[in-house]
Amino acid sequence: MKDIISFHVGNAGQQIGDSTWQLFCIEHGIQPDATRVYERPYQGEQDFFHSFFTEHPDQTYSPKAVFVDSEPSSSLQVSEGELSKVYSLQSFVLRETDTRRHSLEPEEAASGGLVERAIEAVRLEAEASDGVGGFIGTSSLCGFTGSKLNSELLQQLSDEYPGITKMQVSLYPCNIAENVTECYNCVLNCESLIEDVDLNFVMDNKAAFGICKEYLKLETPNLTNINRVIAQAMASITCTMRFDSCMNQNLDEMLQNLVPVKGLNFILTANASYVPSTKVRESPSTEEVTRDLFDSSACLSSCEPINGRYISLNVSYRGMHIPKFVSIALYEHRPRINYVPWEVCGMKCGICYNSPKVYEGKEMALVSKGGVKLANNTAVCSVFEPIEEKFDQLYSRRAFVKSYNELGYEADDFEASRDKWSDLIYRYQTASQATQYDLDD
Ligand SMILES: Nc1nc2c(ncn2[C@@H]2O[C@H](COP(=O)(O)OP(=O)(O)OP(=O)(O)O)[C@@H](O)[C@H]2O)c(=O)[nH]1
Ligand SMILES: [Mg+2]
């Protein structure tokens, strides 16, 4: 099993990364002192945690991860947080040099210096591994650092590691945006998402907030709750790579199963089952897990997959699901699954017998069964279109353009990025409507 190197950029990217690693540690028995308590897994099951963690000679373990930010405060929060003894010092690109300085100016953040050091940190992880099997990034496309720095990092990774699958989990601007310019940050940096990333996972805070309210019954969810909801989905997405499974055992296989055509590589995720901690421990049935997975409110993006058409669909169950019940549950949902007319991938499904885990004593109850639905679905347009609309509203008045000019963005950048964004929307619209989609186009 080749190694997966993760990189977490900007405040949201790092916080989501940190919540994810906390959960990975729980799932693989890695303690806060970086040692591992080995729980005998399910009979015959193997635990491939070595592809995500480095084993040190003193039998301690650290994540193969790099945290990057232009502001030291959020990196510090992570490096001094719950996993302070687990993360290796070299994971934090800012840690040694920049913590003694005030935060970098945005243009400095976007400059080669920080990216170069981030790449150097990735290189160190890569050199220490037996082979790189892929990269997984997390960031918010709403902030300046998470979008710009991340995009530069992706471009360099593409140059340096061509042919190695790159997966990116990003938060997209939504209508609970904190900052009116989020649409600029996202669109201006979309080129690397389209060109350099193989598998783009589309998520947003509004959808995760909705899950906290609807499923976890939290009255006023905060960012920590949201990050844990996203981390739970990250754990399910990567579960098939970290434990024995019959499907999506590595990023290449996931790419093959989800992306039949280059340029249509934006994936929607629904995770199940989120059960509030106030409920007694319970085990949802396979049928209930499946119902949640196909419920639009469980989707981590603000869109309704039921209104779109599926280009591909992977359903991966977690826990002791009985294959016959899986078939029955999925069969019942078939009428709700509309494929694009040229569909070539269809639905793939698998079971990973490792049960989900949760953070002890927090908002979610431990359940023995779960699952994740990964969908390449044309409904993703409903995430992209409002961003385009907002961009046009601002740009038609040239609002805030001057401050972006000072950061090095020219009018050409605005126009070229806007064209790329509408091309992306157009591709998904065409995929949905065409009766004969030209796969080679
Ligand atoms: N889910 C989640 N969203 C966050 C978090 N922190 C900030 N956000 C959201 O992400 C967007 C801003 O992105 P940040 O990650 O803070 O920005 P950045 O990438 O550090 O970039 P800068 O603008 O340069 O600071 C806003 O929409 C915030 O609501 C977090 O911990 N979790
Ligand atoms: Mg920031």
Q: What is the mean pLDDT of residues 42-50?
A: 67
* CATH of region 3-382, choose from 3.30.450.20, 3.40.50.1440, 3.90.1640.10, 3.50.50.60: 3.40.50.1440
Residue 440 pLDDT class (50, 70, 90 cuts): low
Confirm if 324 and 385 have CB atoms less than 8 A apart: no
Beta strands in 330-369 (DSSP E): 346-352
- The closest ligand to the CA of 14 turns out to be 1
Q: What is the mean pLDDT of residues 127-154?
A: 93
Pocket test for ligand 1, best of 9, 67, 140 (most atoms within 8 A of CB): 140
Q: What is the pLDDT of residue 96?
A: 47
Catalytic machinery residues: 253
Taking the CA of residue 230 as reference, the ligand 1 atom at the shortest distance is 1
pLDDT, one tens digit per residue, over 110-122 is: 455 889 999 999 9
Task: Kindly give the distance from the C-alpha atom of residue 398 to the centroid of ligand 2, in angstroms, as a whole number.
Answer: 24
Residue 436 pLDDT class (50, 70, 90 cuts): low
Taking the CA of residue 178 as reference, the ligand 1 atom at the shortest distance is 27
DSSP assignment string, 242-276? HB--SS--SHHHHHHHH-SSTT--EEEEEEE---B
Confirm if 242 and 28 have CB atoms less than 8 A apart: yes
Q: What is the DSSP letter of 364?
A: B
Taking the CA of residue 74 as reference, the ligand 1 atom at the shortest distance is 20
Q: Is the pLDDT of residue 104 over 60?
A: no
- CA distances from residue 259 to 20, 255, 426 in whole angstroms, order as listed: 25, 6, 17
The verdict on pTM exceeding 0.75 is: yes
Q: What is the pLDDT of residue 248?
A: 83
Distance from C-alpha of 92 to C-alpha of 129, rounded to nearest angstrom: 18
Confirm if 218 and 363 have CB atoms less than 8 A apart: yes
Span of 39-43, 352-356, 390-394 with lowest mean pLDDT: 39-43
Query: Ligand 1 in contact with 226 (CB < 6 A)?
Result: yes
Task: Kindly give the distance from the C-alpha atom of residue 215 to the centroid of ligand 1, in angstroms, as a whole number.
Answer: 24
- CA distances from residue 270 to 208, 293, 378 in whole angstroms, order as listed: 10, 5, 15
Task: Kindly give the distance from the C-alpha atom of residue 58 to the centroid of ligand 1, in angstroms, as a whole number.
Answer: 36
Task: Kindly give the distance from the C-alpha atom of residue 70 to the centroid of ligand 2, in angstroms, as a whole number.
Answer: 7
- Which of residues 80 and 40 earns the better pLDDT score? 80
Q: Is the pLDDT of residue 52 over 80?
A: yes
- The residue with tokens 């996203």 is 230
For ligand 1, atom 32, name the residue with the nearest CA: 12
Confirm if 115 and 152 have CB atoms less than 8 A apart: yes
Confirm if 21 and 238 have CB atoms less than 8 A apart: no
For ligand 1, atom 8, name the residue with the nearest CA: 12
Task: Kindly give the distance from the C-alpha atom of residue 179 to the centroid of ligand 1, in angstroms, as a whole number.
Answer: 10
Q: What is the pLDDT of residue 414?
A: 97
**Which candidate, 169, 131, 132, places its Cα nearest to that of 150?**
169
Pocket test for ligand 1, best of 11, 147, 203 (most atoms within 8 A of CB): 11
Q: What is the pLDDT of residue 228?
A: 98
Task: Kindly give the distance from the C-alpha atom of residue 145 to the centroid of ligand 2, in angstroms, as a whole number.
Answer: 6
- The residue with tokens 């037996």 is 130
- The closest ligand to the CA of 142 turns out to be 1
Map out the domains of the chain as residue ranges: 3-382, 383-433
Query: Ligand 1 in contact with 140 (CB < 6 A)?
Result: yes
Q: What is the pLDDT of residue 382?
A: 95
Angle at Cα 75 formed by Cα 195 and Cα 86, nearest 5°? 100
For ligand 1, atom 5, name the residue with the nearest CA: 12
pLDDT, one tens digit per residue, over 170-227 is: 999 997 667 889 999 999 999 999 999 999 999 999 999 999 999 999 999 999 999 9
Query: Ligand 1 in contact with 11 (CB < 6 A)?
Result: yes
- The closest ligand to the CA of 105 turns out to be 1
Q: What is the pLDDT of residue 244?
A: 85
- For domain 383-433, give the fold: Helix Hairpins (1.10.287)
Residue 49 pLDDT class (50, 70, 90 cuts): confident
H or E segment to which residue 136 belongs: strand 132-140
Distance from C-alpha of 410 to C-alpha of 388, rounded to nearest angstrom: 18
Give buried/exposed letters for 151-171 (b at 16+ CB in 10 A, else e).
bbbbebbbeebeebbbbbbbb
Partners of 68 in the β-ladder? 9
Q: What is the pLDDT of residue 298?
A: 95
Distance from C-alpha of 29 to C-alpha of 53, rounded to nearest angstrom: 12
Q: Is the pLDDT of residue 105 over 70?
A: no
With H, G, I as helix, E, B as strand and everything else as coil, classify residue 174. coil
Partners of 349 in the β-ladder? 315
Distance from C-alpha of 343 to C-alpha of 208, rounded to nearest angstrom: 29
Distance from C-alpha of 62 to C-alpha of 55, rounded to nearest angstrom: 7
**Half-sphere exposure (Cβ direction) of 393: Cα atoms closer than 13 Å:** 10
Q: What is the mean pLDDT of residues 156-172?
A: 97
Average pLDDT, the chain: 90
- The closest ligand to the CA of 170 turns out to be 1
Q: What is the mean pLDDT of residues 391-407?
A: 94
Q: Is the pLDDT of residue 95 over 60?
A: no
Query: Ligand 1 in contact with 178 (CB < 6 A)?
Result: yes
Query: Ligand 1 in contact with 223 (CB < 6 A)?
Result: yes
